Amino acid sequence: MIEGESVDDMYTRMSHIRNGYTALGEKLTDDRVVGKLVRAMPPSWEMLQISLETMMATQELGPEDLINYFRNFESRLKQLRIDSQPRTIAMPASTSTNEDDELALLVRQFGDFRAREKRFNDNRRRNNQKTFCFE
């Protein structure tokens, strides 16, 4: 399964591969298809892969059962991503034009400019003070 690919797209791709094998005269068993699907899971689904391998050791799983587990896991991951996204709250814009605020912004910007200029000059001086040995 390609990272970002949906479960249905992956199963469609696997069905095409299975049909290709059948057209060539070799039949893929359900066990072999299930094994290929489990091994093709993306690395981010490792916890599901481990639980499915454990489950397969005790009971028989068909491709349809496996796809149902994949779909459920995919929908849970999507829900977790939606729930974990930070919610932003827009604050209303201030319409007051206070001269003190504008002056404070100008002073702060000028201070930032002077700090950048000082760093630039310090770097330039440091690069020019390298010692060279001429022997």
| 9-13, 28-32, 55-59, 98-102: the lowest-pLDDT one | 98-102
Q: Looking at per-residue confidence, does 124 or 95 come out higher? A: 124
Q: Burial code of 107-127, b = ≥16 C-beta within 10 A, e = fewer?
A: eeeeeeeeeeeeeeeeeeeee
Domains of the chain by residue range: 7-84, 98-128
For residues 43-61, give the mean pLDDT: 83
pLDDT confidence tier of residue 55, bands split at 50, 70 and 90: confident
Can you give the pLDDT at residue 120? 84
DSSP designation for 20: H
Checking if the pLDDT of 96 tops 70, the result is no
